[in-house]
Amino acid sequence: MEDRRVKLADVARVAGVSRASASRALNGGYGVSAEVRRRVREVADRLGFEPHGAARALATGRASAGSRERIEIVIVDPDPQALSAKPFYGRVLTGAAQALAGHDVALELKLVPAPPSVDGDPPFGRILINMPPLPAAAYARHGRNIALGASAPGVPFVAPDNRGGGHQAAAHLVTTGRRRVGAVFGPDTPCARERQDGFLRMMAGAGLTVVSAHGDFTRATAYAAAKQLLAREPRLDAIFAACDVSAMGVLQALREAGRRVPDDVAVVGFDGSALADAADLSSIFMPAEEEAASAVQHLLDPALPPPARLPTALTVRGSS
């Protein structure tokens, strides 16, 4: 005999929302507005929808922790070892986990080499890292999202003051008397472009020309870029690296070239990670944990004001 009982999919279709949104509206979950919650419940009452007891337990997370609402952190990075090679990602996870303390929301990590297709049954929210503009815009139409760093128009983001940090690094090198300056900038991403812009603007204001090369925020490409810089300008007396991982490659190239740090060449990185502390590296500190926590708070409550740029600060160590 055909089962004519009204199903959740029927409620979602009539209410004009996804099945996941209908479930959240009926069970008091995160991620739906008051208007959607009201509309879904009205449709459910009108159709005579009666959720199955076991299904309700699963939807509300009472049956198992694995069925809780979840926030995905989607990292687009072609390096399969990125999580261990780039401290920034670990700091993001730490900040996000701390912000979710006390909330019945799971945290899920996805490291992918290219932007994944949009899921038809989206999670409660996503934090997008290194997501190019076009896919980020597509994601914005499927669930609640926020990017770390500027992305597509219409996609909210939280980011540090990258330009200000680049300016601080340049000002430090100029005021300490460095005049033959090189830089290993990052890939073609908003945060890397902002750091480069802040650094170059300050150097131009001081009347200095920067010899530059680009890497991809990995040690290997920064090492190759630093060797290229030294071949082009052997008398460099300072190098700015656009992240601390890149700075490790710069330091390796300088050691192999017999250049002393900081006597011959000063080095400044960007991130303020544990790498900088361990290597006695001067670095621009950016509050990655606070950045991730702010993103989570915005997902939990989109009514909050748009996240502001987070301040950066130079920590001077032995490398400069």
Task: List pLDDT tens digits, range 149-198.
Answer: 998 888 999 999 999 999 999 999 999 999 999 999 999 999 999 999 99
Average pLDDT, the chain: 88
Q: What is the pTM of this model?
A: 0.79
Q: H or E element: which one contains 90?
A: helix 87-99
Q: Is 90 exceeded by the pLDDT of residue 55?
A: no
Architecture of domain 162-288: 3-Layer(aba) Sandwich (3.40)
Kindly state the helix (H) or strand (E) to which residue 264 belongs, with its residue range.
none
Residue 302: the pLDDT is 80
Q: How far apart are CA 198 and CA 207, in angstroms?
A: 15
Which CATH code of 3.40.640.10, 3.40.1790.10, 3.40.50.2300, 3.90.1150.10 fits the domain covering 68-159+289-303?
Answer: 3.40.50.2300
Q: Where in the chain is the domain with CATH 3.40.50.2300?
A: 68-159+289-303, 162-288
Handedness of CA 226, 227, 233, 234 (dihedral sign): positive
252 - beta bridge partners?
none
| Banded model confidence at residue 58, pLDDT cuts 50, 70, 90 | very low
Between CA 105 and CA 142 the distance in angstroms is 19
280 contacts 83 by C-beta, under 8 angstroms: no
- pLDDT in the model for residue 291: 97
The domain at 8-66 falls in which architecture? Answer: Orthogonal Bundle (1.10)
CA 317, CA 320: separation in Å to the nearest integer?
A: 6
Indicate whether 73 pLDDT > 50.
yes
The boundaries of every CATH 1.10.260.40 domain in the chain are 8-66
